[in-house]
Amino acid sequence: MIDIHAHILYDVDDGPKNEIDSLEMLRQAAKEGITEIICTSHARHPQYHVTYRKVVEQVNDLQQLLHHHQIPITLHTGHEIRLHDNLPTLLQQQQLHPLAQSKYILLELPSSTIPAYTIEMIRSLKTFGYIPILAHPERNFAIKENPKKLEALIQQGVLTQLTTGSLTGLYGKDIQRLSLALVRANYIHTIGSDVHDLQKRSFFFQSALHYLEKKKEIDTITRLLDNNARVLANKPILPLELDDMAIKKRWLIF
């Protein structure tokens, strides 16, 4: 399995504090069946910005550590990039990492809003050849209040990444219910852990997949994992036919 959203690098943002913590997290990832991880430390976040060079250096160092401890995981460079008005230029100047050196970027909105210039920035990124994947849309307050707002972004060409912990109930029953509704409405393209530690925000991959299996979403599991592999391989992800009625049936929109 491939995790496309993970805070594994240590002492750089709100993820692990030291090398030992990172190593223990990676051991747990291997136990969950994860074989590839894109390391997506925060960039252009109000509180954190991990530099391009720092990401490269730590990914290389941790990969050597994995080899030394015989942990069968391959790490890749990436960033979780907060929406910013100059992203295409920063990407072109190699100040920000796309996901595993692909055309895909992991784009984070503010937690409570969808800024007015979001669609304009999406169009600009696509003009430069990048495909934004929206990180954890189910946890954005504006989308939670009205999931139709997410549909508008998807129609502009945005892809989405659901968080494993959202499916397991880590963020509460409302977000768990919304997550399943978004899955069933074909609003979700990829899945990632957004892991930060092993205490509160762990990988939860197996638990999330078990939840989808219990909800009879076997085809969804296959599709999400396949799309994660497509991101890593820089291959196209096929668009889905949005099912507006699925949202209306399972999540009230006012």
Pairwise CA distance, residues 36 & 38, whole Å: 7
* Domain 2-250 class in CATH: alpha beta
Does residue 253 register a pLDDT over 60?
no
Question: Mean pLDDT across the chain, nearest whole number?
Answer: 94
Predicted confidence band at 243 (pLDDT cuts at 50, 70, 90)?
confident
Q: Say what the pLDDT of residue 92 is.
A: 95
Q: Say what the pLDDT of residue 249 is.
A: 55
pLDDT tens track for 119-144: 999 999 999 999 999 999 999 999 99
pLDDT tens track for 44-62: 999 999 999 999 999 999 9
Does residue 154 register a pLDDT over 50?
yes
Pairwise CA distance, residues 97 & 92, whole Å: 10
Does residue 218 register a pLDDT over 90?
yes
- Average pLDDT of the segment spanning 153-159: 95
- Average pLDDT of the segment spanning 208-223: 97
Q: Say what the pLDDT of residue 97 is.
A: 98
pTM of the model: 0.94
* Residue (of 171, 168, 179) closest to 208 by Cα position: 168
Q: Say what the pLDDT of residue 90 is.
A: 96
Q: 86 Cβ partners below 8 Å, 6+ apart?
A: none
pLDDT tens track for 97-106: 999 999 999 9
- Average pLDDT of the segment spanning 165-187: 96
Does residue 250 register a pLDDT over 80?
no
- State how far the alpha carbon of 88 is from the alpha carbons of 16, 129, 140, 154, in Å: 29, 9, 23, 19
Residue written as token pair 């491939």: 2
Pairwise CA distance, residues 107 & 132, whole Å: 6
Annotate 95-160 with three-state secondary structure.
CCCCHHHCCEEEEECCCCCCCCCHHHHHHHHHHCCCEEEEECHHHCHHHHHCCHHHHHHHHCCCEE
Q: Percentage of the chain surpassing pLDDT 70? A: 96
- Average pLDDT of the segment spanning 13-39: 97
Q: Say what the pLDDT of residue 246 is.
A: 58
Q: Say what the pLDDT of residue 254 is.
A: 30
The answer to whether 7 touches 15, Cβ cutoff 8 Å, is: yes
The answer to whether 8 touches 26, Cβ cutoff 8 Å, is: yes
- Alpha carbon dihedral 3, 44, 125, 55, in 10-degree steps, equals -50
Predicted confidence band at 239 (pLDDT cuts at 50, 70, 90)?
confident
